[in-house]
Amino acid sequence: MLTRQAAPQVAPHHVRVNAIAPDAVLTDRLTQMPAHVRDGVAAQHPLGRLGDPADIAAAALFLLSDASSWITAITLDASGGHVSL
């Protein structure tokens, strides 16, 4: 929502506004959880695994690159296919 509101305001200045919405990423906090809990969280994702910090970094690098120069006002869902209801 914020990206859609801010993007039109700054687009004339050649500024793009995007966001990344990660889901469960294997950070220090998740690594401290018991393996069976991590496995259960991973099983909820269609890709069958937790995200890696490198997955989110790759999404950010894409949004920073010229390959996304025509993309603005979006939130990139980096969730491994997990849909929260």
Which helix or strand (DSSP H or E) is residue 20 part of? strand 18-22
67 is a domain residue: yes
Domain count, the chain: 1
- 1 against 38, higher pLDDT: 38
pLDDT in tens, 44-83: 999 999 999 999 999 999 999 999 999 999 999 999 999 8
Tell me the C-alpha distance between 34 and 24, whole Å: 15
Count of residues for the chain? 85
Closest CA to 41 of 56, 57, 25: 25
Please check whether residue 68 lies inside any domain of the structure: yes
Q: What CATH number should be reported for the domain holding residue 52?
A: 3.40.50.720
pLDDT of 5 higher than 70: yes
Per-residue pLDDT band for 30 (boundaries 50, 70, 90) equals very high
CA atoms of 49 and 52, how far apart (whole Å): 9
Whole-structure pTM value: 0.88
Helices (H) and strands (E) in the chain, counts: 4, 2
Would you state the pLDDT for residue 85? 61
Structural domain harbouring 40: 2-78
- Whether residue 83 lies inside any domain: the answer is no
84 located within any domain: no
Residue 25 lies in a domain: yes
